[in-house]
């Protein structure tokens, strides 16, 4: 097997090996993946098919945005991330800015040296799970993303989708979620009544065909934070989400789950 690491802030993961193909997810800087289909990093200007190690998602990444890494780096158990809104990195003595949640798992002493690339991290280091999953912490991290634009397949403060938002917030507490909302809905314990929900519960919403297509994080029994157009806070009742500004019913509630 061969492995790669994302070496830019955000690497689009596409359904097909073309720039115009749908972006199905993203790798953030420092996240690792296994190379599929041939097992080698293809030349610059092409795409390489990978499987993301953090959630098993597969897709095609631009080869120039990845670097090969030794197997022993992949086996490190660190889950350290960059915890600030913007985080400073030095790449070959030039500065780059990276968003919240980028991985430091394969760094040693905040440095990483790959073929021709020297990275030195100059910011804070956070190890997910060292802060309790309570209402104050969940609300603080979730609201960190407020007004982030919605982007299909997005997983960062530069643009995020609904399930990517849930995945990033829960990842801060070392709770690993699958990539898609319908996959996430298979986890946890059902909450029978909305009035019994608490901050940190996940609410799922379906379409007319009954397929779960949306997820948000409950802040209390009548408000929810979710990515829809942008990350926003709206009202929720037993029927679903009500847009806080317009009163429009935007999503139909299917189920509420408690994971923690």
Name the residues annotated as catalytic.
162, 214, 226
Is residue 136 classed exposed, middle or buried when 0-12, 13-18 and 19+ CB atoms within 10 A define those classes?
exposed
Name the DSSP letter for residue 126.
B
Is residue 66 classed exposed, middle or buried when 0-12, 13-18 and 19+ CB atoms within 10 A define those classes?
buried
Return d(Cα 242, Cα 140) in angstroms, integer: 22
At 21, is the secondary structure helix, strand, or coil?
A: coil
Contact by Cβ (8 Å): 151, 168: no
Query: Of how many residues is the chain composed?
Result: 260
Return d(Cα 214, Cα 227) in angstroms, integer: 9
């Amino acid at each position: 097997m061969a492995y790669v690491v994302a070496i830019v802030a955000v690497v689009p993961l596409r359904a097909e090996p073309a720039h115009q193909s749908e972006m199905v997810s993203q790798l953030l800087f420092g996240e690792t993946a296994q190379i599929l289909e041939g097992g080698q990093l293809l030349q610059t200007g092409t795409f390489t098919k990978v499987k993301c190690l953090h959630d098993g998602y597969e897709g095609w990444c631009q080869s120039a945005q990845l670097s090969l890494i030794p197997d022993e780096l992949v086996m490190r158990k660190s889950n350290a991330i960059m915890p600030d809104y913007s985080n400073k990195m030095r790449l070959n003595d030039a500065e780059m800015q990276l968003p919240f949640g980028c991985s430091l798992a394969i760094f040693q002493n905040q440095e990483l040296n790959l073929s021709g690339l020297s990275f030195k991290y100059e910011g804070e280091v956070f190890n997910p799970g060292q802060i309790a999953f309570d209402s104050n912490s969940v609300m603080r991290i979730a609201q960190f993303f407020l007004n982030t634009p919605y982007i299909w397949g997005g997983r960062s403060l530069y643009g995020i989708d609904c399930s990517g938002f849930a995945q990033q917030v829960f990842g801060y507490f070392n709770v690993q979620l699958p990539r898609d909302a319908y996959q996430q809905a298979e986890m946890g314990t059902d909450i029978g009544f909305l009035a019994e929900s608490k901050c940190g519960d996940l609410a799922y919403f379906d379409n007319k065909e009954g397929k779960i297509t949306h997820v948000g994080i409950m802040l209390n029994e009548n408000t929810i934070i979710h990515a829809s157009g942008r990350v926003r806070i709206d009202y929720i009742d037993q029927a679903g989400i009500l847009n806080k500004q317009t009163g429009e019913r935007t999503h139909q509630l299917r189920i509420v789950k408690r994971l923690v």
